[in-house]
Amino acid sequence: MAVDLAAVDELDPDLLIGREIARPLARGRLDGWCEVQSPWCQRRGREFSHRRHASQGGLWVAENGLWACGHGNLDGCHGWIHQHPDDAKDNGWIVPWPNDPATVSTLIHTANYGHARVFLDRSGGVRLDQVGDAA
Ligand SMILES: [Zn+2]
């Protein structure tokens, strides 16, 4: 499905599901930089890190993914998240079933608020929860 990202706010949220739309929306939130910025950060993002895993019903939607550096479980922030699940849950980087990622805030780096605890939405938007420090 070809989606015009500039018009994404006008689209039905039910259309904004799938790898080909969720990845660019997540990547665009911080212009391709890693949003997580864990202690292992490599700065430039390269992967969509699912907050609620697909095996737990997590969808390919913008609010369910963080644009993260690293390679899978191995290195960078994607690796840090997988290897530090308790801290990752505290930061909203992992959202266990049955919680809805849209209603669980996450502590990330954002274009508008800097390092802040925010709620993510399906259109690639960010809404401030509270400013805070990493757990
Ligand atoms: Zn990173």
Tell whether 6 is covered by a domain: no
In angstroms, what is the span from residue 14 Cα to ligand 1's centroid?
29
Kind of pairing between the strands at 65-68 and 106-110: unpaired
Tell whether 5 is covered by a domain: no
Q: Of 123, 48, 135, 35, which Cα lies nearest the Cα of 85?
A: 135
Query: Residue 112 in contact with residue 104, Cβ under 8 Å?
Result: no
Predicted pLDDT of residue 5: 75
Q: Of 132, 127, 124, 131, which Cα lies nearest the Cα of 32?
A: 124
In angstroms, what is the span from residue 35 Cα to ligand 1's centroid?
7
In angstroms, what is the span from residue 46 Cα to ligand 1's centroid?
9
Predicted pLDDT of residue 109: 98
In angstroms, what is the span from residue 134 Cα to ligand 1's centroid?
13
Residues at Cβ < 5 Å from ligand 1 ion: 34, 36, 41, 69, 77
User: How many domains does the chain contain in total?
Assistant: 1
The DSSP-derived string for 33-98 is: B-S---TT--SB--EEEESS-GGGT--SSGGGEEEE-S-TTTSHHHHHHHH-HHHHHHTTSS--TT
Predicted pLDDT of residue 6: 77
26: how many CB neighbours lie within 10 A of its CB?
Answer: 25
In angstroms, what is the span from residue 67 Cα to ligand 1's centroid?
8
Predicted pLDDT of residue 134: 54
Domain that holds residue 114: 13-131
Tell whether 46 is covered by a domain: yes
* Per-residue pLDDT tens digits of the chain, which is 135 residues long: 456 777 888 888 888 999 999 999 999 999 999 999 999 999 999 999 999 999 999 999 999 999 999 998 899 999 999 999 999 999 999 999 999 999 999 999 999 999 999 999 999 999 999 755 555
Tell whether 54 is covered by a domain: yes
Tell whether 114 is covered by a domain: yes
